Amino acid sequence: MPHHHTLTQYLIEQRRRFPDASGDFNALILDVALACRAIARSVAQGALAQTPAAGQVNVQGEVQQPLDLASNAIFLRTNEWGGHLAGMVSEELEAPHQIPAVHPRGKYLLAFDPLDGSSNIDVNASVGSIFSVLRAPGDCVASGRDVVEADFLQPGSRQVAAGYALYGPSTMLVLSVGQGVAGFTLDPNLGEFMLTHPDIRVPEATREFAINASNSRFWEAPIKRYIDECLAGTAGPRDKDFNMRWIASLVAEAHRILMRGGVFLYPRDTKAPGVPGRLRLLYEANPIGFLIEQAGGRASTGRAGVLAVQPEAIHQRVGLVFGSRLEVERVERYHAEPENSQINPLFAERGLFRI
């Protein structure tokens, strides 16, 4: 039977590259992993789990599922006591979460979506947790002051770590600390995350895309062109057949792409003209984008790299296209072309989703 490193061993090896490191960072990641293990246990119980009442609406305007609230509470409780964090931001909370005065404060910030894809719980489909780690501003660390929204408004390129937990047939933790991407599988007998995927890479080309085709009438011309060309298969300009997938769980979509390639599109569209996209920048697009790019893929708004976007609000939304590099670069290229060159005459009238 092969020997697998534990998550703790992996983090120690990574830390050895930085002799002056204090160990706070490793301890923070282990606390996050502990929260994910607790959430995995709750998810696995399904309808048997005793969870708080739901029905409230969060800051996103979405109805909170019982496990959304339970998972958020687990993340807060597990990560606020260790002295590694200056503050947290959650999808489920309108304002930043302050570290209680009874606990020491640290030099990192944590942004997270405690249970992504929770609408899939009722049908027993894969869900997950997403997290992003940033450094707190120097004045915040020095003074120990309460965090404010502006402290978290850092572009994704400044993340020091990001990852997700996937709660599926097995529970996995996929993590980047800025040196590639590693995948860990939870051993339920040991209660440990074991390194099973040491160097995850996204193939640069693919024949698989994921998009919610029911929104096709709202797509911008470059997205319509890209999807029409994929659907045309070997008869079209791409000269190859594509498969389409759509799970409606960002973690599950990202995991599939990290495991076997593909491209995911949740672009800006005209369905809500005043909204620049649907996914949250700080705790969805940025951490997933960080993982994808650390694995050799590309993450974009559809027009430019998502990790370069300067956040303006902690719950800011953004369009997101990520996955195999050549496909994402094609989407960006289509957006950069003049509008009058967007229509491919061959597919202008007969595109499957053309209205």
Quick: pLDDT tens for 301-319. 999 999 999 999 999 999 9
Rounded distance, CA 11 to CA 161, Å?
A: 12
Domain ranges of the chain: 7-197, 208-347
pLDDT-derived band of residue 276, with 50, 70 and 90 as boundaries?
Answer: confident
DSSP for residue 330: H
CA neighbours closer than 13 Å in the CB half-sphere of residue 211: 30
Structural contact between residues 106 and 86, judged by C-beta atoms closer than 8 angstroms? yes
Using 50, 70 and 90 to split pLDDT, how confident is the model at 355? very low
Identify the CA nearest to 290 among candidates 175, 187, 204: 175
Q: Model confidence over 246-275: pLDDT tens digits?
A: 998 999 999 999 999 999 999 999 988 888
- What was the pLDDT predicted at 142? 94
Distances from the Cα of 313 to the Cα of 73, 112, 339, angstroms: 23, 15, 30
Q: Which two tokens stand for residue 238?
A: 């791409």
Structure tokens at 323: 């996955």
What does the pLDDT look like over 88-140, one tens digit per residue?
999 999 999 999 999 999 999 999 999 998 777 777 778 999 999 999 999 99
The CA distance from 227 to 147, in Å, is: 43
pLDDT in tens, 148-199: 999 999 999 999 999 999 999 999 999 999 999 999 999 999 999 999 999 9
Confidence of residue 338 (pLDDT cuts 50, 70, 90): confident
Distance CA 319, CA 316 (A): 11
pLDDT band at 60 (very low <50, low <70, confident <90, very high): low
Average pLDDT value for the chain: 91
Of residues 248 and 351, more confidence is placed in: 248
The pLDDT score that the predictor gives to residue 272 is 84
| CATH code reported for the domain at 7-197 | 3.30.540.10
Residues 164 and 284: their CA atoms lie apart, in Å, by 10
Instruction: Tell me the percentage of the chain whose pLDDT exceeds 90.
Output: 78
Overall pTM surpassing 0.85 (yes/no): yes
Fold: same for 7-197 and 208-347: no
pLDDT at 63 over 70: no
Q: Which residues contact 201 (CB under 8 A, 6 or more apart)?
A: 181, 295, 296
Q: Which of 126, 107, 106, 105 is nearest to 117 (CA)?
A: 126
| 172 close to 186: Cβ distance less than 8 angstroms | yes
Q: pLDDT at residue 349 above 50?
A: no
pLDDT of residue 56: 66
> Looking at residues 227-246, what average pLDDT do you find?
96
Return left, alpha or beta for 178; rule: phi > 0 is left, psi -120 to 50 is alpha, else beta: left
How do strand 161-167 and strand 127-135 relate by DSSP bridges?
Answer: antiparallel
* Assigned token pair, 220: 């911008």
Half-sphere exposure of 189 (CA within 13 A, CB side): 0
Q: How confident is the model at residue 58 (pLDDT cuts 50, 70, 90)?
A: low
Q: Look up tokens 């933790």; give the residue.
A: 173
Q: Which amino acid appears at position 126 of this protein? A: S
The CA-to-CA distance between both ends of the chain, in Å, stands at 56
- How far is the C-alpha of 291 from the C-alpha of 301, rounded, in Å? 15
CATH for 208-347? 3.40.190.80
